[in-house]
Amino acid sequence: MARLEWSQLPAGIRARVEEIAGSPVSEARTQHGGFSAGMASRIVFADGRRLFIKAIPASSPGTFDLYRREADILRTIPRDLPAAHLIDAFIDEDWAVLAIEDVDGRHPRKDSHADAVLVLDAIAALAAAEPPASLPRLADELSEDAGSWGRLAAADLLGTTTPWCVENLDFLRKHAERVGTAVAGERLVHGDLRADNILIDAGGRARLLDWPWAARGAGWEDALLYLLDLRVEDSTADVDPLRAHPVFAGSSTDDHISLFAAIGGGWFEKCRWPAPPGMTTLREFQRREALAAVDWIAQMDATRGR
């Protein structure tokens, strides 16, 4: 998937970015990764200022809407959170453009326990913050996924999952259906945390990026999904001890299984659909995540016994 380059933006859009910065652009470095073909560049301006600029044309409607949503969310989250914060944004009929703090840092190493703890500490800081009341409830966002296993069975699609899923359909269905209870809460949830959405800055603080899916929930969900990302990278990674981190306080293994059952079933459904325009790698990613989720469910269930 080829990203848009800074030089491909219309001259008027580039001029508005330079107006925001108060200086002309001297260097633009495209950042690869993610799922969309929108422009994502680290920009250095003539006066030394640096910004991270994201831009997408309205001809990519799905991503255009996500950028608009992210701009709205970044305007409302507390400024002291460990995030990359919004400097400015403009949305018109043709483009959505966000100017964000350029965090000088590195992505967390997926084989590093210390980096994982830094990430969980940052997530705990989110959970301690007051979420904007305008954010949706995560329970509502997952309500469709709660019925995923019933739909897969009704459509005779369980064969597209795994043999363990077929043998444990009732277990998965029951846990997915209670996901609303498992994630209920009024804490700030990022909603899409993976290593490529996190930078560890020079001070050793994990900073969280890409915010269009923020919601209100129980507060531990981001941490569990980050640990799942580590298992996608390495299925033998021993991340269970990290579930003792304080960010998981008040949650149970049943809650964790419910989240994975709901989103895993939802991913198994979605990975069969055509990819959205400009997001060609999304369906492959969803299948990998679904397989990792049900594999961890099986492990958690076997470890504790039913």
Is the domain of 204 the same as that of 154? yes
102, 118, 140 — which closes off a domain? 102
Is the domain of 114 the same as that of 96? no
Give the tens place of pLDDT for each residue, 132-146. Answer: 999 999 999 999 999
The verdict on residue 76 lying in a domain is: yes
Q: What is the mean pLDDT of the chain?
A: 93
Give the tens place of pLDDT for each residue, 263-275. Answer: 999 999 999 888 7
Structure tokens at 214: 């923020």
Give the tens place of pLDDT for each residue, 72-105. Answer: 999 999 999 999 999 999 998 799 999 999 999 9
Is the domain of 120 the same as that of 157? yes
The verdict on residue 90 lying in a domain is: yes
Is the domain of 117 the same as that of 214? yes
Give the tens place of pLDDT for each residue, 255-306. Answer: 999 999 999 999 999 998 887 666 667 788 899 999 999 999 999 999 876 5
Is the domain of 164 the same as that of 226? yes
pLDDT at 36: 66
Give the tens place of pLDDT for each residue, 115-126. Answer: 999 999 999 999
Query: pLDDT tier at 215 (50, 70, 90 boundaries)?
Result: very high
The verdict on residue 60 lying in a domain is: yes
The CATH number assigned to the domain holding 15 equals: 3.30.200.20
102, 128, 150 — which closes off a domain? 102
Is the domain of 111 the same as that of 80? no
- pLDDT score of 37 more than 80: no
- pLDDT score of 60 more than 60: yes
- pLDDT score of 34 more than 70: no
The verdict on residue 48 lying in a domain is: yes
* Cα(303)–Cα(38) distance, integer angstroms: 43
Residues 74/39, Cβ–Cβ less than 8 Å? no
User: Other C-beta atoms within 10 Å of 259: how many?
Assistant: 27
Question: Does residue 185 come out as left (phi exceeding 0), alpha (psi in the -120 to 50 range) or beta?
Answer: left
Phi, psi of 186 (to 5 degrees): -125, 40
Q: What is the mean pLDDT of residues 44-71?
A: 93
Q: How many CA atoms lie within 13 A of 166 on its CB side?
A: 8
Is the domain of 111 the same as that of 186? yes
H or E element in which residue 257 lies: helix 253-270
Convert 221-248 to b/e letters by CB count within 10 Å (16 or more is b).
bbbbbbbbbbbbeeeebebeebbebebb
Is the domain of 190 the same as that of 91? no
* Cα(13)–Cα(5) distance, integer angstroms: 13
The CATH number assigned to the domain holding 283 equals: 3.90.1200.10
The verdict on residue 1 lying in a domain is: no
Is the domain of 91 the same as that of 132? no
Is the domain of 114 the same as that of 62? no
The verdict on residue 21 lying in a domain is: yes
Is the domain of 192 the same as that of 296? yes
Domain that holds residue 87: 6-102
62, 80, 102 — which closes off a domain? 102
Helix (H, G, I), strand (E, B) or coil at 209: coil
Provide the number of structural domains found in the chain.
Answer: 2
Residues 29/4, Cβ–Cβ less than 8 Å? no
Is the domain of 57 the same as that of 134? no
pLDDT at 54: 95
Q: pTM to 2 decimals?
A: 0.91
Query: pLDDT tier at 62 (50, 70, 90 boundaries)?
Result: confident
The verdict on residue 297 lying in a domain is: yes
Name the β-bridge partners of 293: none
